[in-house]
Amino acid sequence: MKVFDLEANSYTDVMNIIQSYARVDDELEVSVEKILRDVRNRGDQALFDYTRSFDNFELTENNIRVSKEEVNEAYGKVDKGDLKALKTLRDNIEKVETKALRRLKIGFNLKGIRITQEVRPLDSVGCYVPGGKASYPSTLLMTVVPAKVANVKRVVVVSPPNKVTPELLVAADIAQVDEVYRVGGAQAIAALAYGTKSISPVQKIIGPGNQYVTIAKRIVSSDVEIDMLAGPTEILIFADNDADPKEVALDLISQAEHGPDSVCGVVTQSRRLADMVIKEVAKLCKNVERGDIVLRVMGERAFVIVTKNTNEALNFVNNFAPEHLEVLSSEPEKILSKISNAGVIIVNSPSVVTDYYSGVNHVLPTSCNAETRGGLTVLDYVKVIRTVYASKQSMAKAFPTIKKLALLEGLPNHLKAVEYRVEKNVA
């Protein structure tokens, strides 16, 4: 782990180093653009070729879509305890998003004008479930369940073929996914955006992924809606003097095991805690599982920031705008009121709670995108539509204001559209 003491290092220099972990080189972007064009031009055949090349899997028009028979067979290969856990997570996500959706429906009266707000679901979404170094049925639930709560008509899942496990298929079934396809990477994003013979295009693309997927989503966003840029995972832990260094170390390692491009950091004003965390990480890493990944992240993309005071630490948090922010503090309320940029905030508990149980979505913005939005919610699957009912009496009351503003902006025909009705109603 790299240690940066802000008394000895320039704040700007430190921030540039840390933000460089998520930067993408130009060659990668060129490669992704080539894949997108190729899929757009050659359709299924390009999907088959890239899947053979990248995933070492022979994809055909007969096996690209998962069949109902395969889903039924998957149940026999999934442990009952795992199935119960998946159902619990599904139910918790459903409860959170249902409550959120209900809050969106409003109706009130504004000086005689009745205003209502309702939501309408999107027609179709494509949910990308990443593969990489693991399989993620939890991410499938996170992306699909809010769509079903919103009543999206067509919900599609794409995932790298070697990661379409029995657990993933069972998760897809209990979440009521409409279509599952064995295709991943930038080529899957292209298929969802532009369509092929096997995969019809969708209105919006949802879900996290590696750098290839994230770049692909950004590029196709000029043609199709996306949720956010949710790339390689990040965690930042704000830890005060009372934090348990072993808890901090365990939480860093839990996030690091996602993949070699994970970014893991701690910010604290306690040099003592910083030293203890580094010692705990070193001790735990001697026998850590998934060690090839964890050790690489800890060597290349893990850091500890030591600040002069709490305000400097919080300034770093807001500038870094982490995907996951853990607040480990004896007085968390004082800290939370000063945090404005984070994908999700977890207080005095590990971020794993949001991964597997709380029902709060773990699809979150990365690479400073938490400056402008939070995590995935049911709002990403709906359109908010407002309706205005203006009575004759309300138009008469509104007329003086409308007249002033219409003339102020030089739009006399706006004025006449209301003036005619007011005079007609008076007559």
The residues annotated with a catalytic role in the active site are 323-324
Which tokens sit at 383? 């359109």
Q: What is the dihedral of CA 212, 215, 218, 223, to 10 degrees?
A: -60
- How many CB atoms lie under 10 A from the CB of residue 383? 11
Three-class SS state of 383: strand
User: What's CA 172's distance to the chain center, in Å?
Assistant: 18
Which tokens sit at 174? 């209990």
The answer to whether residues 215 and 230 touch, using CB atoms and an 8 Å cutoff, is: no
Q: Give the H/E segment covering residue 261.
A: none
String of DSSP letters for 14-79: HHHHHHGGG---HHHHHHHHHHHHHHHHHTHHHHHHHHHHHH-----TTTSBPPHHHHHHHHTTS-
- The single residue listed with the structure tokens 């009130």 is 108
154-159, strands of its sheet edge to edge:
179-182, 154-159, 124-128, 204-206, 225-226
Residue type at 405 in one-letter notation: L
Angle (CA) 402 406 412, round 5°: 120
- The single residue listed with the structure tokens 């499938």 is 140
Say if residue 192 is exposed, middle or buried (CB neighbours under 10 Å; 0-12, 13-18, 19+).
Answer: buried
In the chain, helix, strand, coil percent, each to 5?
50, 15, 30
- The single residue listed with the structure tokens 């379409």 is 164
Q: Which DSSP symbol is given to 384?
A: E
- CA separation for the pair 186, 188 (Å, rounded): 5
Q: Which DSSP symbol is given to 162?
A: G
Residues 6+ apart with CB under 8 A from 9: none
